[in-house]
């Protein structure tokens, strides 16, 4: 039984799993999108989110903690056939990714399922991506049925009518005219006399 046992073994030893997790997250921070299997992506996503949350703090202890958890791998680009060092993964994490997500309370990554299967073992492939900076936090309005839209329009029209009648009463009171109810009651009292 696996009571209170969390995480996936992924057919690896503990050291191998830790190294794989570090490598995948480093690649994610370097390239901002990676292709992997769904099981690995689900296992790596919380680790990446925790590191980005750590990077949002931006303090020296947070940077040291990130280096201890992730390592500080160099980012190398090939230009004109030569390897050129572009910085480190932790440097990019703290200088670019942390400030990018300052206003975002969480959910820095997403998993997009692909229709492709891996050739060797037919594993389900996915894209693990960092959510873009251009995406807004505002939620799109939910789609409503025609009946609910109709009811909402009726409620708005009734509210507008009430606003109009209240505005008319206010203008009449300001002008010094009596309201129609007061005039009718005065006429009735004069008839009775």
Number of domains in the chain: 2
pLDDT at 96: 94
Q: Are residues 119 and 156 both part of a single domain?
A: no
Q: What is the residue range of 71's domain? A: 14-130
Closest CA to 182 of 190, 165, 164: 190
Residue 140 within a domain: no
Q: Which residue has the higher pLDDT, 14 or 174?
A: 14
- Which pLDDT tens digit goes with each residue over 152-185? 777 677 667 676 566 665 666 566 655 555 555 5
* 91, part of any domain: yes
Q: Residue 55 has which token pair?
A: 């990077």
> Tell me, what's the pLDDT at 189?
58
Question: Which parts of 13-84 fold into alpha helices (H)?
Answer: 14-31, 38-57, 60-70
On average, the pLDDT of the chain sits at 84
C-alpha–C-alpha distance, residues 47 and 53, integer Å: 10
Residue 8 belongs to some domain of the structure: no
Same domain, 32 and 113: yes
Residue with tokens 């280096």: 67
Beta strand segments in the chain, E? 33-37, 74-79, 82-88, 109-117, 124-130
**Greater model confidence, 2 or 174:** 2
72 and 124 housed in the same domain: yes
Q: Is residue 79 part of a domain?
A: yes
Specify the pLDDT at position 122.
94
95 versus 167: which is more confidently predicted?
Answer: 95
Measuring CA to CA, which residue among 54, 56, 33 is closest to residue 104? 56
173 belongs to a structural domain: yes
Residue 191 has pLDDT above 80, yes or no: no
pLDDT tens-digit profile of 83-94?
999 999 999 999
Domain assignment present for residue 183? The answer is yes
Q: What does the pLDDT look like over 105-132, one tens digit per residue?
A: 999 999 999 999 999 999 999 999 999 8
d(CA 144, CA 146): 7
Q: Tell me what pLDDT residue 2 has.
A: 86
At residue 137, the pLDDT reads: 47
Span 15-55, pLDDT tens digits: 999 999 999 999 999 999 999 999 999 999 999 999 999 99
Q: Is residue 5 part of a domain?
A: no
pLDDT band at 136 (very low <50, low <70, confident <90, very high): very low
Same domain, yes or no: 178 and 123? no
Residue 118 domain flag: yes
Rounded to whole angstroms, the Cα distance separating 162 from 154 reads 12
What distance in Å separates the CA atoms of residue 164 and residue 186, rounded to the nearest whole number?
26
């Amino acid at each position: 039984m696996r009571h209170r046992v969390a995480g996936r073994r992924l057919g690896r030893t503990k050291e191998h799993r830790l190294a794989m997790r570090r490598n995948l997250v480093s690649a994610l921070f370097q390239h901002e999108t990676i292709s992997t299997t769904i099981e690995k992506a689900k296992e790596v996503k919380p680790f990446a989110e925790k590191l980005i949350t750590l990077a949002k703090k931006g303090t020296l202890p947070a940077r040291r903690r990130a280096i201890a958890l992730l390592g500080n791998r160099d980012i190398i680009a090939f230009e004109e056939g030569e390897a050129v060092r572009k910085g480190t993964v932790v440097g990019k994490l703290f200088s670019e990714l942390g400030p990018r997500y300052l206003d975002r309370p969480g959910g820095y990554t997403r998993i997009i399922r692909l229709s492709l299967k891996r050739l060797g073992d037919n594993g389900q492939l996915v894209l693990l991506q960092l959510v873009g900076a251009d995406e807004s936090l505002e939620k799109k309005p939910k789609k409503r049925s025609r009946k609910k839209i109709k009811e909402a329009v009726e409620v708005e029209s009734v509210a507008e009518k009430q606003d109009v009648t209240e505005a008319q009463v206010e203008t009449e009171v300001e002008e010094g005219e009596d309201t129609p109810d007061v005039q009718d009651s005065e006429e009735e009292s004069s008839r009775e006399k």
